[in-house]
């Protein structure tokens, strides 16, 4: 059995499952939580569930969003499952991996590191885009004790916050057809041009890879390089009271400029007066993001 169920929590008529499994991508145990809406639990063989992936930000585990993101109410109403991966491998025993909040543990940036020593374990792109979908969307029921529960890989959407917003946008652009829509809360929209992204990319790829490798993992650079479809079904929310926005960590305007320059349609960026970077902001707009995904996956 791929997943081990660590906890089952009743919420909004459905169940939040805290799962653990041994990852072949990161070569570590990985935590992942999955919200099952009530519709998944009402019959022994429910129809396969549409799925929204939520990628969390720096320092987070799956618990931050499941405890205070409030996606479950809207997900329950629509009959959508929500998957919450962790933000990095844990306990890889790499020197320095726990030294800072914005690199290493809790800061995997949803990329596959190419630089030593990180490349042995820090493979969050493959983990989120390939390994987890493979486990969840396989023919066998992936959840121990709930053999009838299936997830529909043809109806998947992706969202995320901050570092996770960067992950959602870049994985959407890098894996055409895998996700039907994308959205982001306060995303790190141009990591190659902000301190968080520069630190992470220098560590995971090397300082000397700025002109090639870094750009492949940067939403703004991907759009500039023509990697966005003509219609990009993206909803992006940013709070104007967000200190990280004010400090130039997010740079959503650079993404907007690239979208405009390339004539990409369908991208909606909303600026909300006074909202900060926290889960007060995320929970306020969570329903809008689930509704956005629902338009494409129901
Ligand atoms: N501890 C750091 C700030 C870390 C932080 O704010 N993390 C955000 C995501 S930031 C971008 O990816 C977060 O979601 N934190 C968890 C939470 O529950 O709020 C510092 O001290 O500056």
Please count the other Cβ atoms lying within 10 Å of the Cβ belonging to residue 223: 26
Q: Is the CB of 280 under 6 A from ligand 1?
A: no
Residue 176 near residue 229 (C-beta atoms within 8 A): yes
Question: Per the omega criterion (within 30 degrees of 0), is the bond before 117 cis?
Answer: yes
Of 121, 161, 166, 277, the active-site residue reads 277
Burial tier of 265 (Cβ tally within 10 Å: 0-12, 13-18, 19+): exposed
Average pLDDT over residues 187-216: 97
Beta bridge partners of 156: 51
- 86 in active site: no
Q: Taken in order 226, 232, 238, 244, is the CA torsion positive or negative?
A: negative
The beta strands (E) that lie in the chain are given as: 4-11, 14-22, 29-36, 49-55, 81-85, 151-160, 182-185, 231-239, 265-272
Q: How far is the CA of 60 from the centre of ligand 1 (A)?
A: 7
The pLDDT of residue 279 is: 98
CA angle at 88 for the pair 86 and 93, rounded to the nearest 5°: 130
Distance, CA of 163 to CA of 161 (rounded, Å): 6
Best residue for ligand 1 mutational test, from 56, 60, 110, 282 (most atoms within 8 Å of Cβ): 60
The pLDDT of residue 280 is: 98
Distance, CA of 82 to CA of 52 (rounded, Å): 5
Q: How far is the CA of 48 from the centre of ligand 1 (A)?
A: 34
pLDDT, tens digit (0-9, with 9 covering 90-100), for 157-181? 999 999 999 999 999 999 999 999 9
The pLDDT of residue 79 is: 98
Q: Is the CB of 60 under 6 A from ligand 1?
A: yes
pLDDT, tens digit (0-9, with 9 covering 90-100), for 121-136? 999 999 999 999 999 9
Distance of CA 154 to the CA centre of its chain: 17
Residue 104 confidence (pLDDT) above 80? yes
Helices and strands (DSSP H and E) totals, the chain: 10, 9
Residue 1 confidence (pLDDT) above 70? no
CA angle at 190 for the pair 188 and 194, rounded to the nearest 5°: 80
Distance, CA of 246 to CA of 173 (rounded, Å): 26
Average pLDDT over residues 199-210: 96
Of 162, 166, 181, 237, the active-site residue reads 162
Please count the other Cβ atoms lying within 10 Å of the Cβ belonging to residue 6: 11
Q: Is the CB of 278 under 6 A from ligand 1?
A: yes
The pLDDT of residue 138 is: 87
The pLDDT of residue 89 is: 98
The pLDDT of residue 141 is: 87
Q: Is the CB of 8 under 6 A from ligand 1?
A: no
Average pLDDT over residues 227-233: 97
Counting from 1 in the atom list of ligand 1, the atom nearest the Cα of 165 is 12
Average pLDDT over residues 190-207: 98
Sheet with strand 265-272: strands edge to edge: 4-11, 14-22, 29-36, 81-85, 49-55, 151-160, 182-185, 231-239, 265-272
Average pLDDT over residues 132-155: 93
The pLDDT of residue 267 is: 98
When pLDDT is cut at 50, 70 and 90, the band that residue 2 belongs to is confident
The pLDDT of residue 140 is: 85
Residue 204 confidence (pLDDT) above 60? yes
The pLDDT of residue 31 is: 98
Average pLDDT over residues 261-269: 98
Percentage of the residues of the chain whose pLDDT score is greater than 90: 96
Please count the other Cβ atoms lying within 10 Å of the Cβ belonging to residue 245: 21
pLDDT, tens digit (0-9, with 9 covering 90-100), for 19-42? 999 999 999 999 999 999 999 999
| Lowest mean pLDDT, pick from 60-64, 85-89, 135-139 | 135-139
The pLDDT of residue 86 is: 98
pLDDT, tens digit (0-9, with 9 covering 90-100), for 39-55? 999 998 899 999 999 99
């Amino acid at each position: 059995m791929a997943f081990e169920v660590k906890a089952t929590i009743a919420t909004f008529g459905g169940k939040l499952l805290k799962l653990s499994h041994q990852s072949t991508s990161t070569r570590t145990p990985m935590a992942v939580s999955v919200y099952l809406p009530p519709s998944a639990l009402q019959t022994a063989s429910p129809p396969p569930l549409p799925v929204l992936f939520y990628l969390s930000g720096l320092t987070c585990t799956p618990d931050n969003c499941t405890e205070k993101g409030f996606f479950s109410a809207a997900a329950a109403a629509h009959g959508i499952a929500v998957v919450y991966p962790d933000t990095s491998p844990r306990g890889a025993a790499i020197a320095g991996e726990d030294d800072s909040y914005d690199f290493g543990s809790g800061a995997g940036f949803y990329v596959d590191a190419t630089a030593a020593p990180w490349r042995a374990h820090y493979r969050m792109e493959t983990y989120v885009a390939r390994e987890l979908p493979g486990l969840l969307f396989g023919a066998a029921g992936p959840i121990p004790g709930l053999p009838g529960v299936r997830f529909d890989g043809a109806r998947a959407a992706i969202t995320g916050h901050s570092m996770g917003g960067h992950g959602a946008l870049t994985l959407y652009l890098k894996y055409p057809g895998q996700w039907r829509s994308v959205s982001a809360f306060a995303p790190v929209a141009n990591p190659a041009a902000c301190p968080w992204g520069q630190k992470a990319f220098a560590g995971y790829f090397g300082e000397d890879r700025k002109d090639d490798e870094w750009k492949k993992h940067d939403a703004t650079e991907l759009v500039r390089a023509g990697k966005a479809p003509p219609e990009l079904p993206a909803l992006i929310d940013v709070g104007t009271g967000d200190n990280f926005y004010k400090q130039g960590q997010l740079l959503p305007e650079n993404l907007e400029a690239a979208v405009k320059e390339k004539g990409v349609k369908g991208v909606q960026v909303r600026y909300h007066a006074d909202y900060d970077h926290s889960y007060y902001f995320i929970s306020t707009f969570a329903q809008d993001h689930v509704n956005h995904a629902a338009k494409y996956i129901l």
